[in-house]
Copies of this chain bind each other. A is one copy, B any other.
């Protein structure tokens, strides 16, 4: 291996420390200080800061520091250069934490208990036990599986929807647009973990969100482009939906003047649901580089 170039990460110095610790004699460069361009064999990219990766004559692969690859949508990447998705354990676990928290928030009606506390009211809301509560995952890749299985083990009725069905014991699976209404119409809580693609753009819109039963809650920790925010607000305001937790948005960072910030039934977090654990991610990168070197 000659040189590795790191691009577009706020954690560049942390990655440098961890990568240099586990890869002996690593020649790590941080964009824009690229040094000799011919030396560069691997690119570690969070945000692409250039529009054409064809400028690197000798790269073997791009390793994305994110799970989604949509940041490459408008970037030229030579067709013979593979782009590998990051999938470190920290990312999977932190997404599971966020999903479990958000599901429990609606399942246990924490929004109501927060209001009761403000008004100093000691009042119990009737509890629907988990076996009577249905949680559905749109997108059922590596990020969804962990929280889905944990919810199943807590007694919830869990289902999944994706392009091509993927079975998991005890989790009902739906697939394709033709099964979307059957999937959505049975849910109390919808968890969207879809990636950004042409097919998922605006997939949660007035028509599809209306398929959810009255009182359902929506959690979006996939991509902001999947959800039509105006449709969501409309269905919250007319009491079709009871609440929403949004971690991703049509435009990020969410603009100061967005009506989402102050909506009483919307919880906002700034795209923090799933986060890489840099030391674990560095180890993932080390393994991928090693495999790619051995292939040669």
Contacts and interface: CB of A to CB of B under 8 A. Distances in A.
Interface of A: 89-90, 93-94, 96-98, 100-101, 104-105, 107-108, 110, 113-114, 116-117, 120, 122-125, 127, 129-131, 150, 153-155, 252-254, 256, 258, 261-262, 267-272, 275, 277, 280
A261 B117 contact: yes
Contacts of A270: 113, 116, 122-124
Contacts of A125: 272
B113 A269 contact: yes
Nearest to A262: B120
Given A113-B270, A123-B270, 11 more contacts: A90-B129, A90-B131, A93-B155, A100-B100, A100-B101, A101-B110, A117-B261, A120-B261, A122-B270, A129-B277, A129-B280
How many copies altogether? 2
Given A125-B272, A127-B272, A129-B277, A107 B116 contact: no
Given A101-B105, A101-B110, A117-B261, A93 B267 contact: no
A270 B150 CA distance: 26
Contacts of A272: 108, 113, 124-125, 127
Contacts of A127: 94, 272, 275
A275 B132 CA distance: 14
Contact of A130 (B93, B150, B253, B269): B93
A93 B124 contact: no
Contacts of A97: 104, 107-108, 130, 154
A245 to B, nearest CB: 10
B267 A129 contact: no
A94, A116, A269: residue with the most chain B Cβ atoms closer than 10 Å:
A269
Given A261-B120, A277-B131, A101 B104 contact: yes
B89 A122 contact: no
A96 B253 contact: no
Contact of A268 (B117, B254, B269): B117
A15 to B, nearest CB: 15
A154 B93 contact: yes
Given A101-B104, A101-B110, A129 B93 contact: yes
B267 A155 contact: no
Given A122-B254, A155-B89, A254-B122, A104 B100 contact: yes
Contact of A108 (B101, B104, B150): B101
Contacts of A252: 122
A96 B108 CA distance: 12
